[in-house]
Amino acid sequence: MSSELEFTRLRHLRETADIRRNNAETSLSVSELAYPIFVTLGSGIQRPIDAMPGQFQMSVDVAVKQVEAAHKTGIDKVLLFGLPQHKDSVGSSAKDAGEAVQAATRQLKRELPDVTVITDVCLCEYTDHGHCGIVTPDGEVDNDATLPLLAAAAVSHAEAGADIVAPSAMMDGQVAAIRADLNESGFEKTRLMGYSAKYASSFYGPFREAAGSAPQFGDRRSYQMSSTQSDEAMLEIEADIAEGADYIMVKPALAYLDIIRRASERFPEPPLAAYNVSGEYSAIKAAAANGWLDERGAAMEALIAIKRAGADLIITYFAPDAAHWLDQ
């Protein structure tokens, strides 16, 4: 080839690790990660979740120690899911001040006040039928009848000290109902993160084992979004912002990177969270366990992809591991 041939040498920007770091267009910080955990009442409980290797159902005392260890690596945000002692048709335990989410919130804010506690607000873990709201005699989820129950649960979380309440039931008007009850109850400063564009996804499978929240009949497609929808996601996000959401969310993350990108460009405010869900986590863990891919490399590549798409906050079960990897 002629020595006179001229072309751009972009490889010069990739030749060494130092050059690659200096020219990185996207960077990930531990402050952009939130760690989801599953809490229950009792003492000394740490039950492995078979479908989610490395994750556990934990009693409050164990969970607090786990969060303390994560906090030492820089993780300063946790998302709590509760495993209740009692289930019924209306999820009445969700608002019980003595339940695990409320108990964990109180203890975390007492012992680790610098940790931001986010609480999931839904009824699926608390109902005996596994749906996210009240079910009518004909098997339909009653949107409007569910709203006061979600609001009552959110207020109980705020009373326990939650910094952010995060309604995930995908009931129309849930953000407005919760914001109104929080304000009326004196919790104007409690922030609200809407699970704004939450899709009906096969990637939730491992979570339903972890949280004991699988529906006992039917599915959730009548209230969670279809994977075919993109414009509708923008309408859902716009509605949550109008109703007073301080944060918005796209869930799942990896299968919906286009939605994250579109939301980040259309709604530069408020901050955008993306949930790297259980099935996305478990798929990487399973493939790594079989030697099919490198866990650290695949996990970090996935997290960078979510950040590159436009997420401001990534909720991920990889959070403690990612904190160690980023430190290294």
Where do the domains of the chain lie, and which CATH numbers do they carry? 28-327 (3.20.20.70)
Reference 49, options 183, 161, 206; nearest CA is 206
Structure tokens given for 12:
């010069």
Q: Exactly one of 77, 87, 198, 307 is catalytic; which is it?
A: 198
Q: What angle do CA 173, 108, 31 make, to 5 degrees?
A: 75
Q: What is the pLDDT of residue 1?
A: 53
In 149-254, the DSSP E strands lie at: 164-167, 191-192, 197-198, 248-251
Token pair recorded at residue 85: 């002692």
Environment class of 184 (CB within 10 Å of its CB; exposed 0-12, middle 13-18, buried 19+): exposed
Asked if 320 and 281 count as a contact pair (C-beta separation under 8 A), the reply is no
Q: For the chain, percent helix, then strand, then coil, each to nearest 5?
A: 45, 15, 40
Q: Which residues pair with residue 38 across a beta bridge?
A: 57, 81
SS3 229: coil
Is-catalytic flag, 198?
yes
Classify residue 113 as exposed, middle or buried by CB count within 10 Å of its CB (0-12, 13-18, 19+). exposed
Closest CA to 247 of 140, 157, 163: 163
Q: Catalytic annotation on 87?
A: no
Please report the pLDDT score of residue 215 as a whole number.
Answer: 87
Output the CA angle 209-59-284, nearest 5 degrees: 40
Going by the DSSP 8-state scheme, the letter that residue 186 receives in this structure is T
Distance CA 127, CA 132 (A): 8
pLDDT truncated to tens, each residue of the chain (328 aa)? Answer: 556 788 888 888 888 888 888 888 889 999 999 999 999 999 999 999 999 999 999 999 999 999 999 999 999 999 999 999 999 999 999 999 999 999 999 999 999 999 999 999 999 999 999 999 999 999 899 999 999 999 999 999 999 999 999 999 999 999 999 999 999 999 999 999 999 999 999 999 999 889 888 888 878 889 999 999 999 999 999 999 999 999 999 999 999 999 999 999 999 999 999 999 999 999 999 999 999 999 999 999 999 999 999 999 999 999 999 999 999 8
Q: Show the beta-strand stretches assigned E in the chain.
A: 33-40, 46-48, 56-59, 77-83, 116-121, 164-167, 191-192, 197-198, 248-251, 272-276, 313-316
At residue 22, the pLDDT reads 87
Per-residue confidence (pLDDT) for residue 18, from 0 to 100: 87
Question: 117 pairs with which residues across the strands?
Answer: 78
Q: Given this model, what pLDDT does residue 297 score?
A: 97
Q: Which of 77, 87, 95, 251 is catalytic?
A: 251
Distance CA 25, CA 19 (A): 12
Round to whole Å and give the CA distance between 36 and 67: 10
